[in-house]
Amino acid sequence: MKDTISGLLMLAISAAVWHSAGALPAGNGAGLGPGDFPRGVAALVGVLSLILAVRGAARGGAAGSLPAFGPRAGRALVFFAFIGAYLPLMPLVGYVLSTSAFLLASFALLSPRRAVRDLAAGAVFSVAAAVCVFWLFGCFLKVPLIEGPVDEFLRYTIMKGIGIA
Amino acid sequence: MEHLGRMIGEVVTVNVLLFMLVGIVAGIVAGAMPGLTATMTVALLAPFTYQISDPIAALMVLVGVYVGSMHGGDISAILVNTPGTPAAAATCIDGYPLARQGKAALALNTTAIASTVGGVFSAIVLWTVARPIASVALRFGPFEMFCLAVFGLGVIAGVSEGDVLKGFIMGGLGVLFSAAGRSPVFDVDRLTFGLAGLPESDLRYIPLMIGVFAITEALTQVEAETVFERAATSFRNAFPSRKQLKELTVPLGLSSVIGTIVGAIPGAGGDIAAYVAYDQCKKISKHPEEYGKGSLEGVAAPECANNAVCGGAMIPMLTLGIPGDSVTAVLLGAMIVIGVRPGPTLFQDPQMSLILSGIFLGLLITNLIVFPVRLLGVPVFARAVSLPPRYLWPMVVAFCAVGSYSMTGSMYSAYVMFAFGAFGYVMKKFGFPPGPMILGVILGPMAEANLHRAITINHGRAAAELFSPLAVALLLLTVFSIAFPIVQERRKKKSPNAAA
């Protein structure tokens, strides 16, 4: 089942690429067209995917089981959702606030205990880590970061004030 | 001589040495942490090197990470019987028994010496053989270059971690992903599926690599939640005695040679080199009965070999533009982003000559610097082994976000990273290895551009004329490189000791 599903999924992807590349001009014998190479590779991937799907269906057994998820797969899914929320939040509120929020939420999710004391430690860690990363990359290494009002305040008032920006 | 002096002047600057040190420390810490691989760390740090104006300093960070992670892998192998990197798996066999005998410090210092010997040896070999190989490769025409790219894609069979068929599908997908967006050959947008503004072809490597390696690994580790409890041990300095060092001379020499040769073979990485060296050193050892019970030779041989792989693996990468494994594939992608495009033409470009020499000398210096860093930092690096996941993985994601965004200054790259993280995680669940996809992404454009050139040049002539003896040899090598791991895997499965 596992290999059959993944084989069919890959077959669908390669069919979509084949179709999309087909809309591009083809080569004329004097060279490749822009769609020829992707089409050839898509065809190859399609054939391999079909073999995988057929092999999966024929084998059954281990290849017949569905993908194995660990006992904490739900937690991984929530963590993934946090990442999904963190990225669009960054342009809205800036790097430090969004990163602090993401780190704290993830810390709470991954902590074995959720006592107030642990969460307080997590909050301190989250803010400190976000500020340190902001300083290291944004100020020291001059890596472009998305900045919000809090980041600007940090950079131009506090860090500049103490001479580290 | 003047060139060498200029080269030393360029590489041995405080700036470059500091960046090198940052890379080494990051590499050792990452190598010591089970779950953080060398590939992932290089992918994670690559975007930041893009911001460094001095290309030699930027390259030294990456070389430092590569060498450092190979050094760090044995720390967790010895202390918690879990290799920090796959290349350190063979080190567990004798490393952990030594730790249980209270000789963890002796084992760690022995592996530091062995790793340095292997690393220095392979750096010297790289320096010696790279130019002659590149000068031969310069005679390759477009079709030979296409065959070379196909040969590089054949490496997928060796890095597929189990199912070769799935590896090739992932490799094919990588080629297709590399074709999406603006084509550098035809100057048209293609395979965009309505998504406008895909990053420039070179810049899209990094978010994809970060997603596939780092985000996927973070999700996997969060799901698994493995905490590595470090056994209490003293790190008071305990070095091998003069007699023990003398006994290690032959195994270290043999392992250096094995590691460098295995590293230079595309598809055969540090793990294979380590096991081969362990096996060969056991065969020639005066005390083979000690192997598996805490033999110093048993930790020195694999560590020496897997570090010798670094220089060996850089031979095909630098001279032919063919990455030998996942780490060098990511390293190659990062180098392209920095503006250094490995391949035979790199050796012809006078502007790149100094950078190239900087890489050779830098690799040598990195291997020398890493030794004192290892010795002094072992107590600190050992703590990294048991860093709680609630601190580690959210921080990794925060670095990923900064890294992807900073490549283009656009959130688009961060979303590409996110999408590929999800894709990599799902694919991993279905048993698809991520490494081949990166090989496909790197080698796809090389294959397409050279095939197009070859057909254009050959226009009007018989197709058979394309197949020069060299092209045929490369295609035969491709068949061999695909068939060999498959046959080896089947043999392993049939072997009665396969389970062990």
pLDDT in tens, B426-444: 998 888 888 788 888 888 8
Q: What is the 3-state secondary structure (H, E, C) of chain B?
A: CHHHHHHHHHHCCHHHHHHHHHHHHHHHHHHHCCCCCHHHHHHHHHHHHCCCCCHHHHHHHHHHHHHHHHHHHHHHHHHHCCCCCHHHCCHHHHHHHHHHCCCHHHHHHHHHHHHHHHHHHHHHHHHHHHHHHHHHHCCCCHHHHHHHHHHHHHCHHHHCCCCHHHHHHHHHHHHHHHHCEECCCCCCEECCCCCCCCCCCCCCHHHHHHHHHHHHHHHHHHHHCCCCCCCCCCCCCCCCCHHHHHHHHHHHHHHHHHHHHHHHCCCCCHHHHHHHHHHHHHHHCCCHHHCCCCCHHHHHHHHHHHHHHHHHHHHHHHHHCCCCCHHHHHHHHHHHHHCCCCCHHHHCCHHHHHHHHHHHHHHHHHHHHHHHHHHHHHHHHHHHCCCCHHHHHHHHHHHHHHHHHHHHCCHHHHHHHHHHHHHHHHHHHCCCCCHHHHHHHHHHHHHHHHHHHHHHHCCCCCHHHHCCHHHHHHHHHHHHHHHHHHHHHHHHHHCCCCCC
Helix (H, G, I), strand (E, B) or coil at A158: helix
Q: Which of chain B's residues have a Cβ under 8 Å away from the Cβ of A79? A: 218-219, 222, 393
Res. B200: pLDDT tops 60: no
Model confidence at B499, pLDDT cuts 50, 70, 90, reads very low
Cβ–Cβ contact A18 with B under 8 A: no
User: B51–A141: do the CB atoms touch at under 8 Å?
Assistant: yes
ipTM of the complex: 0.89
User: B222–A72: do the CB atoms touch at under 8 Å?
Assistant: yes
Cβ–Cβ contact B227 with A under 8 A: no
> In chain B, positions 36-55, which contact chain A (CB-CB < 8 Å)?
47-48, 51-52
Cβ–Cβ contact A40 with B under 8 A: no
pLDDT, residue B500, reads 39
pLDDT, residue B498, reads 45
Nearest CA in chain B to A26: B186
Residues linked to residue B189 through DSSP beta bridges, in sequence order = B182
> In chain B, positions 459-478, which contact chain A (CB-CB < 8 Å)?
459
Q: Which of A28, A32, A86 to mutate to test the interface with B (most CBs of B within 10 A)?
A: A32
Model confidence at A62, pLDDT cuts 50, 70, 90, reads low
Cβ–Cβ contact A54 with B under 8 A: no
Model confidence at A129, pLDDT cuts 50, 70, 90, reads very high
What whole-number distance in Å separates Cα of residue A111 and Cα of residue A115?
Answer: 9
CA distance A60 to chain B (A): 14
Q: Which of chain A's residues have a Cβ under 8 Å away from the Cβ of B218? A: 79
Q: Quick count: other Cβ atoms within 10 Å of Cβ B354?
A: 17
Model confidence at B153, pLDDT cuts 50, 70, 90, reads confident
**A111-142 as b/e: b if 16+ CB within 10 A:** beeeeeeebeebeebbbebbbebbbebbbeee
Q: Which amino acid is at B407?
A: M
User: In this predicted model, which residue has the larger pLDDT, B260 or B486?
Assistant: B260
Res. A47: pLDDT tops 70: yes
CA distance B324 to chain A (A): 22
Residues 6+ apart with CB under 8 A from A158: none
The pLDDT tens digits for A73-94 are: 888 999 999 999 999 999 999 9
The pLDDT tens digits for B436-483 are: 888 888 888 889 988 888 888 877 676 777 788 888 988 998 888 788
* Cβ–Cβ under 8 Å, residues B273 and B263: yes
Q: Which of chain A's residues have a Cβ under 8 Å away from the Cβ of B448? A: 32, 37
Res. B203: pLDDT tops 70: no
Cβ–Cβ contact A140 with B under 8 A: no
> In chain A, positions 107-136, which contact chain B (CB-CB < 8 Å)?
107, 109-111, 122, 125, 129-130, 133
> In chain B, positions 181-210, which contact chain A (CB-CB < 8 Å)?
183, 185-186, 188, 190-191, 193
pLDDT, residue A61, reads 57
Model confidence at A127, pLDDT cuts 50, 70, 90, reads very high
What whole-number distance in Å separates Cα of residue B30 and Cα of residue B38?
Answer: 7
Average pLDDT over residues A104-121: 87
pTM for this entry: 0.78
The pLDDT tens digits for B346-368 are: 888 877 777 888 888 888 999 99
Res. B405: pLDDT tops 90: no
Cβ–Cβ contact B420 with A under 8 A: no
pLDDT, residue B199, reads 55
Backbone φ and ψ for B376, nearest 5 degrees, come out as -75, -35
Res. B230: pLDDT tops 60: no
